[in-house]
Structure 1
Amino acid sequence: MSGAGFVLAVNFLIAQCFCMFFLAVSARSRNRVAARWFAGTYAVASLATIFEFLVAYVPPAKLWAILAFAAMLGGMLMLRVGIGHLYGLRTNRWGLAGIFVAFVALDYAIYDLPRGTLAHALPYQTPFAVALGMSAFAAWRARPASFVDRALIVLLALTSVHFLAKAFAAVLAGAGNTAEDYLASQFALVSQSMGAVLIVAVGLMLLCVLVLEIVAEEKGNAEVDPLSGLLNRRGFDNHIDALLAGAGPHGLILCDIDHFKSVNDTHGHQGGDSAIRAFGEALRVAAPPGALAARIGGEEFALFLPNTGREATLLFAQTLRATRAVAPIPGLPPAVRITASFGVAEVTRGEPLRFAMRRADDALYAAKNAGRDCVREAEPPAVVLEVVKRAT
């Protein structure tokens, strides 16, 4: 086996590995359809290596050469479909099918042209450059924001240009007089070696995009309470520091569903879950853009309103209290109404979050002691700080 033949076999094994990797990732990825198209890209394109071997050893060479071209081109066009799914772009599959047929017909037409000339090499390599250029353009049109996505665009564009460069390299290095001579040529070794590098580079970049998406989704799931749909305590703590750094003042509201234990005792845990779900939905809908809404305990919720003063925060809490007091709860009898108590604190810039939470919590307990279904305002920060100093 020649050096080019060995690299060709390695490329086949690499492509099969990436095919399995993408299938494995598709089981967890939100973009599982894109991952499966990428798996198909490598599976179909790898057939070209088999056909290349058959060109050299099994007649008729023309049949295997055209099939090798078609397999490689088909895999690259499948990549374009996968890119469309990855970035939510519309893909004209009939248009891609037409391009595929036209380029395969072109390959058939130039087959008997002299090898090692631009008349053959340029129209042979151009379809691959066009197919990858379409993927690069589609990814660019999606305007991705992350570094990895932009790196993928650059890599696809470079790979596209690489195929045009191969046309001139075939003329300079010599690709053999016939298709059967290709594997024994110096150009074949260079071409297949560069192909191996690009196969790995593109595959790793695509896997990186998908894996980072899975990691981000898992991180998001770890910060979200599945019952209420709001942030959990971890998510609340992870996101609030950036908001506290703002000029302020900020508004903090702690709220607690009234008589929640009796709801569970009377209507079962499903009834309690319905109450939490409805209250979480109410907070999510009412929260203005940029606010943090979270379920921080069993029936306790928190709402952080950045750059919102005392009066606006109090008004927001009063409105939310009045709305929940008259709103029915899906899953509970129509006559059942669930109320909540609210503690409101204004957070000044530089105040530690734990002090603000303590003030709001004290106001929440004051609301409960006042008969529930009401709003109470917290003591100013200076009062709480003085109490803490005396206690220490």
Structure 2
Amino acid sequence: MGGAGFLLTVNFLIAQCFCVFFLAVSARSRNRIAARWFAACFATASLSALFELLVAYVPPPKLWAILAFASVLGGMLMLRIGLGHLYGVKASRPLLAAIFIGSILVDLAVYDTPRSSLWHALPYQTPFAVALGMSAWAAWRAGMQSVVDRALVVLLAVTSAHFIVKAFAAVLVGSGTTASDYLTSQFALFSQSMTAVLIVCVGLMLLCVLVLEIVADEKVNAEMDALTGLLNRRGFDNRFQALMAKRGVHSLILCDLDHFKAVNDTYGHSGGDAALRAFGEMLAAAAPKDALVARIGGEEFALFLPHTGRDAAMLFAQALRATRALSPVPGLPPHLRITASFGVAELGERELPRFAMRRADDALYAAKSAGRDCVREAEPPSVVLEIVRTSN
């Protein structure tokens, strides 16, 4: 086996590895259909390596040569379908089928022409360039959301163009007199070397896109409360500090369900969960679009209201309190009313987040001490800061 045959074997193994990688990624990716199409793409295209070897050693060579061409082209068209699922740019299956069948017919027509002529090389390589060009166009049309997406577009475009370059290289270098001579030609060594590099680059780039999405999804899941669908404490804290740094007047509301332990003791954890879900849904429905809404503890919730002063925040908290006090909880007895207590703090300019949380928490504690089912306003930032300095 010559150098080209060795590279064919390497390319086959690389493609099979990527097939396995994409199948593994599909188990965790929200784009699992796209990942499976990518796996099918590499698995199908890798068959060309086997067919190319059969061309040299098992007659009839024409059959294996056509199958090698068809497997590569079929894999590339599968890539276009996968990218359509990944980026939401659907591929026309009839068009892809027409390109596939038409290209095979063209390959059959030029098969017996001199292999080192443009009449053979250009019609042979052009369908590959078209297939990958369609994939590059689909990724570009999707909007190129990140650096990785843009890099994928460039890589696909370069890979598409390289097939046209290969057509001229086949003429200049020579690809053998017959299909059986291909493995011993200098062009085969060049072609398979370039293919190995591009297989790795395209495969890694596609994996990068999918893995980054998985990481982003895991980050979102880590910052979400599974019961209510709101932010959890980590998600709230990660956003709270950044929003506080923005200019303007902001307010923070902490709220806590009253007598929640009694609800759990009487109606079980399912009843408590129903109360938490109902309260979370109420907060999410009532809060402005730019607000942060989170469940930061067992029965404790937080709302960050950007560009909202103390008066508006107090009115908003009172409206929430009245709504909760008058609304039944789905899944619990219709007569049961679960109230909540609220602490409101207007945030001081350049105030540290922990001081803001402390002031709102003190106001919430005051509401609890006042008999619950009420709203209390926090002390100004200067008062809390002085208390902290005195205690230290």
Normalised by the length of structure 1, the TM-score is: 0.98
Residue equivalent to 2:381 = 381
Aligned partner letter, 1:256: D
**1:110 offset after TM fit, Å?**
1.2
Q: Are residue 25 (structure 1) and residue 25 (structure 2) matched?
A: yes
* Alpha-carbon separation, structure 2, partners of 1:117 and 1:359: 81
* Alpha-carbon separation, structure 2, partners of 1:34 and 1:144: 17
**Deviation sequence 1:345-377 (CA, Å, 0-9, x none):** 001221011111111111111112222222111
* Alpha-carbon separation, structure 2, partners of 1:32 and 1:233: 30
Residue equivalent to 1:357 = 357
**1:335 offset after TM fit, Å?**
2.1
**1:219 offset after TM fit, Å?**
1.3
* Alpha-carbon separation, structure 2, partners of 1:349 and 1:93: 58
* Alpha-carbon separation, structure 1, partners of 2:188 and 2:317: 73
Residue equivalent to 1:164 = 164
* Alpha-carbon separation, structure 1, partners of 2:3 and 2:40: 27
* Alpha-carbon separation, structure 1, partners of 2:116 and 2:290: 62
Residue equivalent to 1:259 = 259
Across the aligned residues of Structure 1 and Structure 2, the Cα RMSD in angstroms comes to: 1.1
Q: Are residue 192 (structure 1) and residue 187 (structure 2) matched?
A: no
- Judge which range, 242-251 or 13-22, deviates more: 242-251
* Alpha-carbon separation, structure 2, partners of 1:322 and 1:157: 60
Contact 1:324 1:340 in 2 (8 A): yes
Residue equivalent to 2:202 = 202
Residue equivalent to 1:139 = 139
Instruction: Tell me the number of residue pairs that the alignment of Structure 1 and Structure 2 aligns.
Output: 392
**Deviation sequence 1:7-64 (CA, Å, 0-9, x none):** 0110000001100111111111111111111100000000111111111111111111
**Deviation sequence 1:209-242 (CA, Å, 0-9, x none):** 1111111111111111111111111111112121
**1:142 offset after TM fit, Å?**
0.8
* Alpha-carbon separation, structure 2, partners of 1:287 and 1:178: 73
**1:331 offset after TM fit, Å?**
1.6
Aligned partner letter, 1:273: D
* Alpha-carbon separation, structure 1, partners of 2:118 and 2:311: 77
Aligned partner letter, 2:249: P
Q: Can you give the 5+ residue segments of structure 2 that lack an aligned partner in the other structure?
A: none
**1:88 offset after TM fit, Å?**
2.1
Residue equivalent to 1:371 = 371
Residue equivalent to 2:310 = 310
Residue equivalent to 2:50 = 50
**1:287 offset after TM fit, Å?**
2.2
Residue equivalent to 1:333 = 333
* Alpha-carbon separation, structure 2, partners of 1:156 and 1:44: 18
| Matches for 1:2-13 after TM superposition, within 5 Å | 2-13=2-13
**1:121 offset after TM fit, Å?**
0.7
* Alpha-carbon separation, structure 2, partners of 1:154 and 1:344: 52
| Matches for 1:102-141 after TM superposition, within 5 Å | 102-141=102-141
**1:289 offset after TM fit, Å?**
2.2
Residue equivalent to 1:347 = 347
Residue equivalent to 2:286 = 286
Residue equivalent to 1:224 = 224
Specify the SS of the correspondent of 2:328. coil
* Alpha-carbon separation, structure 1, partners of 2:328 and 2:95: 53
Residue equivalent to 1:298 = 298
* Alpha-carbon separation, structure 2, partners of 1:290 and 1:94: 45
Q: Could you list the runs of 4 or more consecutive aligned residues of structure 1 that deviate by over 4 angstroms after TM superposition?
A: none
Aligned partner letter, 1:84: G
**1:249 offset after TM fit, Å?**
1.6
**1:295 offset after TM fit, Å?**
0.9
Q: Are residue 101 (structure 1) and residue 101 (structure 2) matched?
A: yes
* Alpha-carbon separation, structure 1, partners of 2:137 and 2:307: 41
**1:320 offset after TM fit, Å?**
1.7
**Deviation sequence 1:79-137 (CA, Å, 0-9, x none):** 01110111122222222112211111111111111111111111111100010111111
**Deviation sequence 1:259-306 (CA, Å, 0-9, x none):** 101111111110001111111122222222222111111100011112
Specify the SS of the correspondent of 2:224. coil
Contact 1:246 1:349 in 2 (8 A): no
Q: Can you give the 5+ residue segments of structure 1 that lack an aligned partner in the other structure?
A: none
Specify the SS of the correspondent of 1:345. strand
